[in-house]
Structure 1
Amino acid sequence: MDKLGNQVITEKSIRLLQKNQYIFRVDSKTTKTEIRDWIEQFFDVKVEGTNSSSIRTKSRKKENKSNTNYGSWKKMIVRLKDNNNIPFFLNQI
């Protein structure tokens, strides 16, 4: 799927792995249901819920140009049901 990006590795994402939650960087136009369906089919797990947030970066002003935003993106936190996990992430705890 082109809309699903890389996993996000931060201190918070490591803590959320213990709660069976995974953070993905996704395309800004992707909906929660699209990500939920794709993850359930691809990883063969059951998704309990999803949260999303748009990450906006600060705007920068260049010479003779107006303000532009660089690098805005969206992250999706996927919460799996008990006894489900994504094996790819297990080695990174």
Structure 2
Amino acid sequence: MAKKDGIDARHYDVILAPHITEKSTMASENNAVVFKVANDATKPQIKEAVEAIYSTKVVSVNTLLSKGKSKRWKGKPYKRSDFKKAVVRLADGEMIDITEKVN
């Protein structure tokens, strides 16, 4: 797949939302940002999307698939959806402020 310059609509299909938790906030001290991504997204796609959307240099991408929990609501069982997270490590000096508006 050829690398394109600029933001494409498919980049927004790969990166769904920032994943804000205590653990991801602690990771941000080490130049890492955690995103919820599409379940079928690959590491190169995630890297390309983050670099295009946020105009930063990505060093590495680690992904993990969180399986949905089985829960009960009003006595009836249901299952939460599975989702994929990506831990994106940025180059030294780079920073993403996830509280700001995206380009």
TM range (shorter): 0.7 to 0.9
TM-score normalised by L of structure 2: 0.73
- In the TM superposition, structure 1's runs of 4+ consecutive aligned residues that sit over 6 Å from their partners are none
Structure 1 gaps of 5+ residues are 62-66
Alignment-derived partner of residue 11 in structure 1: 22
Give the alignment's Cα RMSD to 1 decimal.
Answer: 2.1
Q: Alignment partner for residue 86 of structure 2, among 58, 76, 82?
A: 76
The alignment's TM-score, normalised by the length of structure 1, stands at 0.80
Unaligned runs of 5+ in 2: 1-11
CA shift in 2, pair 1:78/1:70, >3 Å? same
Mapping 1:1-93, distance limit 5 Å: 1-59=12-70, 69-89=79-99
* Identity within the alignment, %: 29
Structure 2 residue matching 1:45: 3-state secondary structure: coil
How many residues are treated as equivalent by the alignment? 85
